[in-house]
Amino acid sequence: MPSLSPADRSSLDRELVPVAAVAILLLVLSFSLPEPIVAQESDDATGQPRAMTLVDLIGMDGVGEPRLAPDGERVAFVKETAEWDRNRSVEHIWITRRGRDASFQLTNGDDGEDSPRWAPDGERIAFLADRSDTLETQAYLIDPDGGEARRLTTHPTAVSEIQWSPEGRWLYYLAADEPPAAEEAQHEAGNDVRAFEEEYEQRHLWRVDAETGEAERITGGDWSVTGYSLSRDGSRIVHHRAPTPLLDDLSRWEVWVMPAGGGEGRRLTNNDVPEYGARLSPGGDRVLFTADASAEFDFYYNSNLFVVPADGEGEPRILLEEEPFGVGGATWSRSGRHIYLSANTGARQELFRVSVADGGLRQLTDGDHAVGDWSFRAGAGRHVFNLETPANPGDVWTLPADGGDRTRVTRVFEDVGDRFRLPRQELITYEGRDGTEVEGLLFYPLDYTEGERYPLVVQTHGGPASSDQFGFGSSWDYPQVLTAMGYVVFQPNYRGSTGYGDAFMRDMVGHYFNEAHRDVMAGVDHLVDRGLVDGDRMAKMGWSAGGHMTNKIITYTDRFRAAASGAGASNWVSMYAQSDVRIYRTPWFEGTPWQEDAPIDVFWENSPLSEVASVSTPTLFLVGEEDDRVPMPQSVEMYRGVKAGGVPTHLYVAPGEPHGWDELRHQLFKANVELAWFEKWVRDRPYDWVRAPADTEEETPVPEWVQRPD
């Protein structure tokens, strides 16, 4: 499957904490035709590109985690492949060389591998895999030219976040503490009643000798390491500590520095804001980190870049206070005079260089694209990253340290534009009701004719502190399929989105639904006024915060003929208590439901459930049974409210699935059921349900209400 765009990942970071777009093709010859025009038939025999299908999209390979070798020439990356017979996607590590067209698969374990990390001498690659019947995920070593991998760790719990020491002797990693033996025995005996959010194991830092396999504990105590990085000379570790590994303790993450071999640490930050991605400067005198904070460390701002003295004798300094964008990852230049960073600029994701001394900013990439999965190899003086464009789901490129000509190093998706007809994307701007400029992405129908009005599907991104960006998209919102069926697709970056300045993002503070839903409808009106959209044939969809927005929209207006709400909140009072994280939601309502003089009226007035009696839009609800972020009861509450009003509705629950659905057939069902719903209510025509490869008609679940062609 295509890798998630930076916008999608940001949505996961917020609503999944530290998803959003896919394919069955129906060419529309006439809006009045009752029969579906199925564009699943291939034009391959003629050599002409064809429209994509849902199976094409869900089954498309994904590329991620590119890592440049010390020589600056070789690149290791992870390639994900859909395996329909196993109903899952599997990742393997591949190797390619800069300037060459050939890549080869390095690993091929049954359950896949990820996290490739080059040894400092370039002679070994460490990676993570689950290859043991008795152990969870462990670290392995392999020769980059191929051969058998050697298991390096035998840790009693799963290993994660591996990193080499500079001289190559040690491989560092994080792992949860081993549960007490008594607890294991009780569980095996069936005595498995647990105390909610009390029975967890702290996560700590370890290192293992790459030759002998002997492991050493580096940190320990009643707290957790949530992230770390070694200094370039290997003498110290900068890391993030939290009281527990629970996401609800995000605000208590702080930056610490300690010796690489263990010992006393020095605390560098002390605030109520989560910090991420701490890195020691090459000289070891400063630490950079990012935080969703203002210069005064007030919370809920676009992510910014901070630098703090490593000796603890000074306060953190913000570097890009006046910039409107949100900072993603960041790292030091080789000299330490500059910091490289990835930034969300609204509809794009770009790389920048900032001067530590004076804040001077230089943009290194520029285009209608999204830079993702980026890292910098200081010794080689090059960046490596995925680059997603409307015609490419994310091949790997490299770039000189301070910009210049970039080099493409993988060609996994080289023929996508030749094989498939892809929709034209366009960035539009329009005014919100108060005159504020708002952006959105527009996808045109494949057979677009100037002057003709088309049905519309509005998709709102998750987060909400995120944004939709130029890119290929994914099987989650399938613009390629919708546009092949003759729909216009509109993705507005409504108030609350990142990359447009703090005031734009913070419009939700004090009232979640202030201008955000009005921005969505202003964009719809703009498209109707342009003569592009038929205002009587419109559908609304979204997942996570996009589902919150869908729930609000159907209570706010009856202009949509159909809607699909995925993992959306309906009741902010119960949602606040049910979810596994609250930090991002407290600012929206300026308090909690259980504090003295709680702002319950603000929580309730912003809850779609409070206005559910006004809903007249036929609406689907979808949710994962094991969603901790926006738990299933939120969808149940909204569904029952809509159903009580006599409005056509259904609720579909994916067993075993978390906030984002992993199983291929669950993803296919989601897209199928949404498309069938839109076709039924927006266009009143049958829909040809798409089966998974090798599935029989009997094995394929199709709801009874679906109108199918004869």
Rounded to the nearest 5°, which phi and psi values hold at 389? -130, 170
Q: Is residue 446, in this structure, part of any structural domain at all?
A: yes
Provide the pLDDT for residue 624: 98
| Phi then psi dihedrals of residue 88, to 5 deg | -160, 165
The pLDDT of residue 650 is 98
Domain count, the chain: 2
What pTM, to 2 d.p., does this model score? 0.92
The torsion of the CA quartet 346, 349, 355, 360, rounded to 10 degrees, works out to -40
Q: Give domain status of residue 299, yes or no.
A: no
What residues contact 297, with CB distance under 8 A and at least 6 apart? Answer: 271, 272, 273, 291, 316
Asked whether 129 and 109 are in contact (CB, 8 A), the reply is yes
For residue 526, tell me if it sits in a domain: yes
pLDDT on residue 586: 95
- What are 370's strand-pairing partners? 349, 388
Distance CA 543, CA 635 (A): 12
Query: What single letter denotes the amino acid at residue 615?
Result: V
3-state secondary structure 238-299: EEEEECCCCHHHHHHCEEEEEECCCCCCEECCCCCCCEEEEEECCCCCEEEEEEEECCCCCE
pLDDT of residue 192: 87
Domain membership flag for residue 558: yes
Residue 22 lies in a domain: no
Provide the 10 A C-beta neighbour count for residue 250: 22
Burial 469-495 (b: 16+ CB within 10 A, else e): bbbbbbbbbbbbbbbbbbbbbbbbbbb
Buried/exposed 184-219: b ≥16 CB within 10 Å, e otherwise: eeeeeeeeeeeeeeeeebbbbbbbbebeeeebeebb
DSSP, collapsed to helix, strand or coil, labels residue 510 as coil
In a domain, 626, yes or no: yes
DSSP 140-160: EEE-TT----EE----SS-EE
Same domain, 371 and 450: no
Longest distance between any two alpha carbons in the chain, whole Å: 76
Residue type, 707: Q
What length does the chain have?
710
> Is the domain of 597 the same as that of 648?
yes
> Which CATH number goes with the domain that contains 504?
3.40.50.1820
H helix or E strand, kind and range, residue 128: strand 125-129
pLDDT value of residue 44: 53
Residues 484 and 584 in one domain: yes
> How far apart (Å, rounded) are the C-alpha atoms in residues 475 and 342?
25
Beta-carbon count within 10 A of 22 CB: 29
pLDDT value at position 97?
86
**Averaged pLDDT in 10-residue chunks for the chain of 710 residues:** 41 36 25 29 67 97 97 96 97 89 91 98 98 93 96 97 98 95 88 90 98 97 97 97 94 96 96 96 97 96 98 95 96 98 97 96 97 97 97 97 95 94 98 97 97 98 96 93 98 98 97 97 98 98 98 98 98 97 94 96 98 98 97 98 98 97 98 98 97 95 94
**Whether 360 and 446 share a structural domain:** no
Question: Dihedral of CA 653/656/660/666: which sign?
Answer: negative
Whether 595 and 546 map to the same domain: the answer is yes
Enclosing H/E stretch for 116: strand 113-118
Answer yes or no: do 532 and 406 share one domain: no
- 391 with 440, same domain: the answer is no
**Do 566 and 493 belong together in one domain?**
yes
Q: Are residues 515 and 399 in the same domain?
A: no
Same domain, 562 and 429: yes
Q: Are residues 428 and 406 in the same domain?
A: no
Q: Are 344 and 328 in contact (CB under 8 A)?
A: yes
Question: Considering the domain boundaries, does residue 292 fall inside one?
Answer: no
Instruction: Tell whether 198 is covered by a domain.
Output: no
- Both 494 and 617 in one domain: the answer is yes
Which domain does 567 fall in, by range?
A: 424-467+480-683
